[in-house]
Amino acid sequence: MKNSKQPAVPLPEKPAFICLHKVGFAHCDPAGIVFYPRYFEMVNATVEEWFEARLGFGFARIHGAMEAAVPTASINVDFMQPSRLGEVLHFHLYVTRLGRSSLDVHIRAGGGDAAADAPLTAATTRFQMNATLVFTKKGVTGSAPWPDDLRAALEREITKQDQHDT
C-alpha cells in the first residue's frame, strides 16, 4: 500500500478524542475486510460522538433545536492497510484548525493489541484523513459562524488537547 501523507500541521502528542469501533459483518466485503466506504460511516460516528460526549452538542440538538448542521465540506484519506471482521479499531481525532465557521480535524484509525490511548504506529495505522467540517444554519446560504457556546466548547477541547489533558 502507498505511504501515508503527513498532516499539514504537526499533531499534538495526544488526540482530542478517542472512539472505539468494532468491525462488524455489515462493515465487510465477502472476504471479511472492511469495505472502504464503511470507514466514512465510522468516522462520522466518531465525530458525532465527540460532539455529544465532549462538546455537549449532540447532532440531535444541532439538527433539531439549533436548526443547524455540521456537514463535511472536504475530506482527504490515505489508506495504509486493511481491517478485518472482529477487530476493534481506535479512532484518534485531532483538532488542527478552528475557523470562523469551519473546523479541520485529522483522524487516524488503527488496531492491534495496544491500548486505545496508545500512539498509533505505522504497523497499526489502517488509515488517516484530514477533513473540514462547516457549521451551517437553516435559512442561511453557505456557512455560518459557530455559535458562541459551541465555539467556546471547541476552544476548550483544543486547549485540553494542546495541554495533553485528554
- List, for residues 3-59, the tens digit of each pLDDT value: 445 555 677 778 899 999 999 999 999 999 999 999 999 999 999 999 999 999 999
Q: Is residue 9 part of a domain?
A: no
Q: Is residue 51 part of a domain?
A: yes
Domain containing residue 124? 17-162
- List, for residues 68-85, the tens digit of each pLDDT value: 999 999 999 999 999 999
Q: 0.75 cut: is pTM over it?
A: yes
Three-state DSSP at 116 gives coil
Res 163: pLDDT: 61
Angle at 16 between CA 75 and CA 137, to 5 degrees: 55
Tally of structural domains, the chain: 1
Q: What are the two backbone dihedrals, phi and then psi, of residue 145, each rounded to the nearest 5 degrees? A: -65, 150
Q: What is the CATH number of the domain that holds 136?
A: 3.10.129.10
